[in-house]
Amino acid sequence: MSENVSIVIVSHSPAVARGAADMVRQMVGDDVRIACCGGNPDGGLGTDVGAILGAINSAWSPKGVAILVDLGGAETNSEMAIEMLDPEKSKRVAICNAPVVEGSVMAGTEAACGSSLEEVKRTAEEFQS
């Protein structure tokens, strides 16, 4: 299972993050490691750098981690979290420029095929057009 790219879902809303993760899991079962996080450090709507770091580490795969985010702060905080990882790890994490729910499902199914991080990212981002 650790041979596949993992998926991390970051939403302002914990419920959205969990829901999107459920949808990916339904598609790919245990073939892809999925972690999600949502909510600010007080539990309100927002995102939390510490929680994002935790999600990346808990889902870690040597093949890489694809992150799907919703709005502005989720992306900014995810970029911050990636910079705070070990440099060796941060090279293998990518944020996908895609809608969070659809992008997560696309990325998850691509990852389940054993694709590379670049391929997973491309598939998630293709959905936009």
Partner 1 sequence: MTKNLISRLIAKIADSICASADDLTKLDQAIGDGDHGINMRRGVEALLKQGDDISRQDFSTALRKAGTAIVMSVGGASGPLYGSALLAMAKTASSMPSNQAEVGVVVAAGIDAVKARGKSDAGAKTMLDVLIPVHREIENGSSIDRIRRVAEESATATKPLLAKKGRAAFLGERSIGHIDPGAKSAALIVHAVCEVLEKR
Take residue 112 and report the two structure tokens written for it.
Answer: 């389940």
Tell which positions 21-60 bind partner 1, by CB under 8 A: 39-42, 44-50
At its nearest, how many Å lie between partner 1 and the CB of residue 24? 24
Catalytic residue selected from 10, 12, 35, 68: 12
Which residues lie closer than 8 Å to 105 by C-beta, 6 or more apart? 20, 23, 24, 27
Q: For 116, which DSSP code?
A: -
86 is catalytic: no
- Residue from 71, 91, 114, 126 that binds partner 1 (CB under 8 A)? 71
Closest approach, Cβ 48 to partner 1, in A, equals: 6
> By the 8 A CB rule, do 4 and 114 touch?
yes
Backbone phi and psi for residue 103, each to the nearest 5 degrees, phi listed first: -60, -40
Q: Which two tokens stand for residue 80?
A: 């911050």
- Contacting partner 1 within 80-99 (CB under 8 A): 80, 84
Binding site for partner 1 (CB under 8 A): 12, 39-42, 44-50, 71-73, 76-77, 79-80, 84
